[in-house]
A and B are shown apart, each in its own frame.
Chain A
Amino acid sequence: MVHWSAEEKQLISSVWGKVNVEECGAEALARLLIVYPWTQRFFSDFGNLSSPTAITGNPKVRAHGKKVLTSFGEAVKNLDNIKGTYSKLSELHCEKLHVDPENFRLLGDILVIVLASHFGRDFTPTCQSAWQKLVGVVAHALARKYH
């Protein structure tokens, strides 16, 4: 089980409380598809992904980004049982979606950058540290059921 200090929990929930899940989710997923274009292979039925502008404006990307970040919220709500929270999703990503777990790490890093751009100086080094830890734990949990 991951240990979270009181400060880490506070930093995570205070940032989360101010996050616009729809906006940040859409932005994070769009950036994943733009910065690491090979990830587009998982979204071949999403329509126009031909340019950064197309990706950013693509309604399926926005909707899926919101879905992904909403699911991330489950980790924030269940910091003491992230493994259990993502058990089924881990199986899904392995057995049905066939996503290389390295991509979870990439999305996690991008999410941190998106948060940094939204919160500016308020996203302090200790804040970043707590969030890098969280995205790492989530990535690990999502990879856990791979076989």
Chain B
Amino acid sequence: MLTAEDKKLVQQVWEKISGRQEDAGAETLERMFAAYPQTKTYFPHFDLHHGSDQIRGHGKKVVAALGNAVKNVDNLSQALSELSNLHAYNLRVDPPCSPLQLLAQCFQVVLAVHLGKDYTPEMHSAVDKFMSAVAAVLAEKYR
């Protein structure tokens, strides 16, 4: 469960990357496709080359959704309800959230790359819990 301190830390992290959020989204996806090629199976219709407009566009969407989750961290279920439906019924990304865990790992690597030492163990812990909570909500409607 996310404590009050966790929520504060997640918000702090979000502020630290403000202005670079779009890049962070694209970079996260790029790292995910490079390190976990099986995740590409969800994007057969995309141009997955480095710098592709589709990756930028989709990265931007993902980060906007995460930003929305950060703003509504006290009510993730409701805030992510539509996305949860989408992932369960349309996209049918494999549960138990395995690809979403891979996305989470790559997002954390991006944060570590950009924040260096500022990505403290406490922040790492809070973000890890937050990403797990997001993944769990997105998987809520699977069955």
A114 to B112, CA, bound (A): 7
Q: CA of A34 to CA of B119 in the docked complex: distance in angstroms?
A: 13
- Does B34 lie within 8 Å of A56, measured CB to CB? no
Give residues of chain B (76-130) contacting chain A, Cβ–Cβ below 8 Å.
105-106, 108-110, 112-117, 119-122, 124-125, 128
Number of interface residues of A (CB under 8 A): 26
Q: Is A103 an interface residue (CB 8 A)?
A: no
B22 at the interface (CB under 8 A from A): no
Residues in A with CB closer than 8 Å to B128 are 35
Contact A120 B116 (CB under 8 A): yes
Residue among B105, B114, B116 making CB contact with A109, cutoff 8 Å: B105
What 1/0 mask marks residues of chain B from 17 to 56 whose CB sits below 8 Å from any chain A CB?
Answer: 0000000000100110011100000000000000000000
A120-B116, A121-B113, A123-B113 given; A113·B124 CB < 8 A: yes
- On whether the beta carbons of B31 and A30 are closer than 8 Å, the reply is no
- State whether the Cβ of A17 lies closer than 8 Å to any Cβ in chain B: no
Write the chain A residue with the least CB distance to B127. Answer: A35
A59 close to chain B: CB less than 8 A = no
Contact in complex: B112, A113 (CB < 8 Å): yes
Interface string of A21-58 (1 = CB under 8 A from B): 00000010011001100000000000000001001100
- Which residue, of A27, A116, A120, has the highest number of chain B Cβ atoms within 10 A? A116
Inter-chain contact B112/A116, CB cutoff 8 Å: yes
CB of B116 within 8 A of CB of A132, answer: no
Tell me the count of chain B residues lying within 8 A, CB to CB, of chain A.
Answer: 24
**Contact residues of A between 110 and 132, Cβ < 8 Å to B:** 110, 112-114, 116-121, 123, 125-126, 128-129, 132
- Chain B residues with CB under 8 A of A114: 112
Interface of A is mostly: helix
Most B Cβ at <10 Å: residue of A109, A113, A126: A113
> B109 contacts A128, CB within 8 Å?
yes
| Closest A residue by C-beta to B118 | A117
Please measure, in the bound complex, the distance between the C-alpha atom of A31 and the C-alpha atom of B30, giving whole angstroms.
25
Chosen A-B contacts, 30 in total, with CB atoms closer than 8 Å, are A30-B121, A31-B124, A34-B121, A34-B122, A34-B125, A35-B125, A52-B120, A56-B121, A109-B105, A110-B124, A112-B109, A113-B105, A113-B108, A113-B119, A113-B124, A114-B112, A116-B112, A116-B113, A117-B112, A117-B113, A117-B116, A118-B116, A120-B114, A121-B113, A123-B113, A125-B27, A125-B35, A128-B34, A128-B109, A133-B35
Q: Besides A52-B120, A129-B34, A132-B105, 18 other CB < 8 A contacts?
A: A27-B121, A35-B124, A52-B122, A56-B121, A113-B112, A116-B109, A116-B112, A116-B113, A117-B113, A117-B115, A117-B119, A119-B113, A120-B113, A120-B114, A125-B35, A126-B34, A128-B34, A129-B31
